[in-house]
Amino acid sequence: MRTATIPGGGRSRPAFRSILAALAASFLAAFALGGCSDPPEDARSRDETYRYSIVFPKGWTRFSGATEFCLSSQGAESPDGCRIYVCVSKPPQLFLSTRSDYVNCEQAKDYVTETLKGQDVDCRASRIIFRKVYAVYYTRTIKSGDAYVYQFVSQSYLLWGGMLYTITCYALGDTPQAARELYQKNNDELLRSESTFFIHRPPMGRE
């Protein structure tokens, strides 16, 4: 399938690698901060059907509800428009279907490139609360009203109980750099929130 072309694409890779390095460093800092104390139980947003919970950043506007693509979705938006949300859905075919991190990442990258129209897609195996996830980072263009804007996205994919749990974080901008800068501005809050994601057990009636 055709994917959109980002202006200045020849210079996007160094900037993309720089932000990935910054994300990795910030993750360690957020993990250290998060390990100091557990958040109050009433701060958690819970889904009793799919048995997950997450703590969203304080002061962000929360939203929830099923969508066209999500059987369940809960999220939060920052005052400047950065978003994080959890989506529970049925996994695509041939998605994270092997024991190989390399092959699973290639499957995730193919899905993002072909279905989500992602550009400069990068993938790596990681963990959230001791569960393996595949973290994918990319940029894409989306339509906003009559215009198109750039979106910098990170998504963590986790298969559990026959369902796909996706934690999506993104920011929008008039240019790829503007989207990345807004994401980076909220990066600590996003990573701290993502690190609180927890699956309590597989959905009822599923293995």
How far, in Å, CA of 123 to CA of 154, rounded? 10
Contact partners, residue 166, CB within 8 Å, separation at least 6: 86, 87, 88, 89, 155, 156, 157, 158
Per the CB < 8 A criterion, the answer to whether 118 and 90 are in contact is: no
194 or 66: which leads in pLDDT: 194
Q: Summarize pLDDT for 132-184 with one digit per residue, the tens.
A: 999 999 999 998 888 899 999 999 999 998 999 999 999 999 999 999 999 99
Tell me what pLDDT residue 26 has.
45
The identity of residue 56, as a single letter, is: F
How many CA atoms within 13 Å lie on the side-chain side of 142?
Answer: 15
Q: Exposed (0-12), middle (13-18) or buried (19+): which is 131, by Cβ within 10 Å? A: middle
Tell me what pLDDT residue 185 has.
97
Q: Residue 14 — very low, low, confident or very high, per pLDDT cuts 50/70/90?
A: very low
pLDDT > 70 in the chain, percent: 77
Give yes or no for residue 1 having a pLDDT over 70. Answer: no
Tell me what pLDDT residue 40 has.
53
Tell me what pLDDT residue 70 has.
95
Q: Residue 86 — very low, low, confident or very high, per pLDDT cuts 50/70/90?
A: very high
Q: Exposed (0-12), middle (13-18) or buried (19+): which is 140, by Cβ within 10 Å? A: buried
What is the set of domains in the chain, with CATH numbers?
11-197 (3.40.1000.10)
Mean of all residue pLDDT scores within the chain = 82
In three-state secondary structure terms, 119 is: strand
Q: Which long-range contacts (CB under 8 A, 24 or more apart) does 76-80 make?
A: 76/193, 78/186, 78/189, 80/182, 80/185, 80/186
Query: Distances from the Cα of 197 to the Cαs of 145, 167, 175, in angstroms?
Result: 32, 9, 30
pTM (2 d.p.):
0.77
What is the average pLDDT across 102-128? 96
Token output for 105: 């990442």
